[in-house]
């Protein structure tokens, strides 16, 4: 059976529990219907739940493929996430309940968070940061990450968060692409008991970042000293966060930002070696983040919402910081690994903090399943009332396990499909409304229109095809930083006669009920443990190694990670394929990009299968990596290459 057949035969149905629906934010399909009748009016209604300093003139200006939302309107994201709640009496409510990996804890109320944000906004102003300037954030998952993001938003600076697991070179490239003037980092962070030397990485990166004038270093104080010895402060450039904070005023009015002013850039992998700087703006992004958080997670005043993502990813931006805070929610933030010090860390956190809504990734759920039920069983998870999944397709067995073992059979599951580019959730059940099917992200949220199309833009009502979004939406990316042509090419050129259709790069299937089942990328982008990695990025890293002549990278199905990275490498003359070299090359990629890009398999090959025009046939390499019968090899310049590779692969595996 193919994957599609497996999904097609999934017949379990989970209607929303009646008691859940009775109290839900959304209880029926009125919003879906209203939005279908007039999506722009629907979005204007959603936008009016935010605090605007000046109302907008026009809700949508759509000149495909460029959209502008709420033009003429002015607002400030930090004012919406903070000041508004102080005015509403939430000052003493916990905004962020944080736990570090070593077990250190901090809780920031809305009052405290607002004060820290205003103070740090003044620190940034003091360092010369002005509206529109770019600020890099390279931090562990500590409250200062959210403080730094919100402080940028307060003064209209554009943040570019770089995941702490990325390498110095990745940080360097991102800072240079956006010409950042300030970088905020920390002496270190914790991951699986190890210290991640963020400041040292920053120093390496900044050796080649001429635009960066200042570095602010957070002292990540905790149970153990984080190698202060290793942190060297560059006179005039580097400043300790706590020292600047002590001197700064905590009075800072929120800047009046145009709805279309850029809020942040976030880099993500595409089909070339160079990551794309996805640009999100102020008004539309916040409308998407705030409304989806409220509806999809059915937020209530007393919820404790834990989104397990790092702020280095879009999920952390939208559902750890902006969405929940815009709704005045209490968020749990956890710095470290799920199996540190034990494999029950997540469940210990849920129980101790009384988490009511948990949002995590299928790769984590599959790992938990493998580790065994005894870990969650040891903890009281009865406060949980809603579970979410994001990042990749969730296989029905993992969905069922999540439902039964974590959710006790009572919590609805929202399988949410979206992307860095969409800014917020697009396809998802509404937990009080939608009957769910394990493995399906179900349907577009109100205000969205999705379709399954063939290569000629013909709609496929039932069956498999390419996923498309057929209407603009407020939190959509506006462009790729510095490269609008790539924006048009990547997202709006799949169907040349229809420049209004957004192509996310995913294939999907639609069933008789109209439900969407997203199957995964149809381009050269891998999804490894929920992280997006371009095959070209890994290939570019490999060919920078002096021993490598050529490299081809493909994804291979992996039980826990979803996909694993599999590299085929041909060596330059004079280099011998040894296992030491294999290890060296794998580490080389980790050093160049980050540990998440380290190839799982690496195979030396005298040659790579190519078409007569010289294009590497990745499809055949995938067949080899996954141990399948070889597909059509007739277009190959030299069919013997692939047969030899297949044997060699089988030998190595065996």
Binding site for ligand WT7 (CB under 6 A): 268, 314-315, 390-393, 415-420, 441, 504-506, 518, 520-521, 527, 532
The distance of closest approach from Cβ of residue 387 to ligand WT7 in the complex, given in angstroms and rounded to an integer, is: 13
Task: Pick between residue 7 and residue 31 the one whose CB is nearest to ligand WT7.
Answer: 7
Residue 156 burial (10 A CB sphere; 0-12, 13-18, 19+)? buried
d(CA 131, CA 214): 16
Q: Of 389, 396, 384, 386, whose CA–CA distance to 362 is shortest?
A: 389
**In the complex, least distance from residue 494 CB atom to ligand WT7, rounded to whole angstroms:** 14
Q: Is the CB of 375 or the CB of 531 nearer to ligand WT7?
A: 531
Q: Which is nearer to ligand WT7, 525 or 569 (CB)?
A: 525
Measured from the CB atom, the residue of 224 and 463 that comes closer to ligand WT7 is 463
Nearer to ligand WT7, 80 or 422 (CB): 422
Instruction: Go through 192-220 and write b for each residue having 16 or more CB atoms within 10 A of its CB, e for each that does not.
Output: eeebbbbbbbbbebbeebeebebbbbbbb
Closest to ligand WT7 by CB, 183 or 390:
390
Looking at 18-167, list the stretches that DSSP marks H as alpha helix, in order from N- to C-terminal side: 18-23, 30-37, 39-47, 77-78, 84-87, 110-126, 143-155
Tell me the two tokens of residue 612: 């007569």
**Other CB atoms closer than 10 Å to residue 81's CB: what's the count?**
31
CA separation for the pair 96, 85 (Å, rounded): 14
CB nearer ligand WT7, residue 254 or residue 447: 447
Tabulate helix, strand, coil % of the chain (nearest 5).
35, 25, 40
Nearest-10 Cα torsion for 540, 543, 545, 549: 180
Asked if residue 446 lies in contact with residue 34, where contact means CB atoms within 8 angstroms, the answer is yes
Sign of the dihedral defined by the CA atoms of residues 41, 47, 48, 54, in that order = negative
For 430, phi and psi rounded to 5 degrees? Answer: -100, 125
Q: Which two tokens stand for residue 470?
A: 């057929």
Name the pairing type of β-strands 182-186 and 214-218: parallel
- Alpha-carbon distance of 279 to 264, in angstroms, equals 6
Smallest gap, in angstroms, from Cβ of residue 504 to ligand WT7?
A: 5
Determine the 3-state secondary structure of 195 from DSSP: strand
Min separation Cβ 520 and ligand WT7, Å: 5
Q: Which residue is nearest to ligand WT7 (CB)?
A: 420
| Minimum separation from the CB atom of position 35 to ligand WT7 (A) | 21
- Least separation in angstroms between CB 217 and ligand WT7: 28
Residue whose structure tokens are 């990325």: 166
CB of 549 to ligand WT7, least distance (A): 31
- Write a three-state SS string for 139-175: CCCCHHHHHHHHHHHHHCCEEEECCCCECHHHHHHHH
Q: Which is nearer to ligand WT7, 59 or 425 (CB)?
A: 425
Dihedral class, residue 254 (left if φ above 0, else alpha if ψ from -120 to 50, else beta): beta
| Nearest distance in Å: CB 397, ligand WT7 | 15
Burial class (CB in 10 A: 0-12, 13-18, 19+), 179: middle
Whose tokens are 């979004």? That residue is 469
- Whichever of 155 and 394 has its CB closer to ligand WT7, that residue is 394
CA–CA separation, 414 vs 416, rounded Å?
6
Q: Looking at beta carbons only, is 481 or 568 nearer to ligand WT7?
A: 481
Report, in Å, the least distance between residue 424 CB and ligand WT7: 9
If the CB atoms of residues 346 and 399 are measured against ligand WT7, the closer one turns out to be 399
For ligand WT7, the closer of residues 403 and 521 by Cβ is: 521
- Please state the closest distance from residue 565 (CB atom) to ligand WT7, in A: 15
Q: How far is the CB of 586 from ligand WT7 (least distance, A)?
A: 22
Q: Which is nearer to ligand WT7, 257 or 314 (CB)?
A: 314
With vertex at residue 122, the alpha carbon angle to CA 121 and CA 128, rounded to the nearest 5 degrees, is 95
Q: What are phi and psi of 644, to 5 degrees?
A: -65, -40
Task: Please tell me the distance from the alpha carbon of residue 180 to that of residue 135, in angstroms, as a whole number.
Answer: 5
Instruction: Decide whether 313 or 568 has the Cβ nearer to ligand WT7.
Output: 313
| Least distance between ligand WT7 and beta carbon 353 (Å) | 23
Q: How far is the CB of 184 from ligand WT7 (least distance, A)?
A: 23
Smallest gap from residue 43 Cβ to ligand WT7 (A): 20
């Amino acid at each position: 059976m193919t994957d599609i057949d497996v999904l097609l035969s999934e017949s379990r149905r989970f209607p929303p529990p009646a008691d859940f629906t009775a109290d839900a934010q959304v209880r029926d399909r009125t919003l879906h219907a209203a939005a279908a009748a007039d999506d722009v009016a629907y979005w204007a209604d959603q936008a009016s739940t935010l605090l605007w300093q000046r109302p907008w003139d026009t809700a949508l200006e759509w000149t495909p493929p460029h959209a502008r939302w709420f033009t003429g309107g002015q607002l400030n994201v930090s004012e919406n996430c903070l000041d508004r709640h102080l005015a509403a009496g939430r000052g003493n409510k916990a905004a962020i309940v944080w736990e570090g990996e070593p077990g250190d804890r901090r809780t920031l109320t809305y009052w405290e968070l607002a004060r820290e944000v205003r103070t740090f906004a003044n620190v940034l102003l003091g360092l010369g940061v002005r509206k529109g300037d770019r600020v890099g954030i390279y931090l562990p998952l500590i409250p200062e990450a959210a403080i730094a993001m919100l402080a940028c938003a307060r003064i209209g600076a554009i943040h570019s968060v770089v995941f702490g697991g990325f390498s110095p070179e990745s940080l360097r490239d991102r800072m240079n692409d956006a010409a950042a003037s300030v970088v905020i980092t920390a002496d270190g962070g914790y991951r699986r008991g190890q210290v991640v030397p963020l400041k040292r990485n920053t120093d390496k990166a900044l050796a080649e970042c001429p635009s960066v004038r200042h570095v602010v270093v957070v002292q990540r104080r905790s149970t153990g000293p984080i190698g202060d010895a290793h942190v060297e402060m560059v006179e005039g450039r580097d400043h300790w966060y706590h020292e600047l904070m002590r001197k700064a005023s905590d009075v800072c009015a929120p800047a009046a930002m145009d709805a279309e002013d850029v809020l942040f850039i976030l880099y993500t992998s595409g089909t070339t070696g160079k990551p794309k700087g996805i640009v999100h703006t102020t008004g539309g992004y916040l409308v998407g983040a705030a409304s989806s958080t409220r509806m999809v997670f059915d937020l209530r005043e007393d919820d404790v919402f834990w989104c397990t993502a790092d702020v280095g990813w879009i999920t952390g931006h939208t559902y750890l910081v902006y969405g929940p805070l815009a709704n005045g929610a209490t968020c749990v933030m956890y710095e470290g690994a799920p199996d540190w010090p034990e494999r029950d860390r997540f469940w210990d956190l849920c129980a101790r903090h009384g988490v009511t809504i948990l949002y995590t990734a299928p790769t984590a759920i599959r790992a938990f399943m493998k580790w065994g039920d005894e870990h969650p069983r040891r903890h009281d998870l009865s406060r949980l009332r809603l579970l979410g999944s994001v990042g990749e397709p969730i296989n029905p067995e993992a969905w069922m396990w999540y439902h039964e073992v974590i959710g006790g059979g009572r919590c609805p599951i929202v399988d949410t499909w979206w992307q860095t580019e969409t800014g917020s959730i697009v396809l998802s059940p509404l937990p009080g409304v939608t009957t769910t099917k394990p493995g399906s992200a179900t349907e577009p949220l109100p205000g969205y229109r999705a379709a399954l199309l063939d290569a000629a833009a013909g709609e496929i009502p039932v069956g498999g095809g390419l996923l498309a979004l057929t209407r603009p939406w407020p939190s959509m990316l506006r462009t790729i930083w510095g490269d609008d042509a790539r924006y048009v090419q990547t997202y709006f050129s799949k169907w040349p006669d229809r420049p209004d259709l957004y192509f996310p790069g995913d294939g999907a299937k639609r069933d008789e009920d109209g439900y969407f089942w997203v199957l995964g990328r149809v381009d050269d982008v891998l999804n490894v443990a929920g992280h997006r990695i371009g095959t070209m990025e890994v290939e570019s890293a490999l060919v920078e190694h002096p021993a490598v002549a050529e490299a081809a990278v493909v994804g291979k199905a992996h039980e826990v990670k979803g996909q694993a990275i599999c590299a085929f490498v041909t060596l330059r003359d004079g280099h011998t394929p040894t296992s030491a070299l294999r290890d060296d090359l794998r580490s080389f990629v980790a050093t160049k990009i980050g540990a998440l890009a380290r190839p799982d398999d690496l195979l030396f090959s005298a040659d790579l299968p190519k078409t007569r025009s010289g294009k590497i046939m990745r499809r055949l390499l995938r067949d080899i990596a996954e141990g399948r019968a070889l597909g059509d090899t007739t277009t190959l310049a030299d069919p013997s290459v692939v047969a030899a590779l297949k044997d060699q692969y089988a030998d190595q595996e065996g």
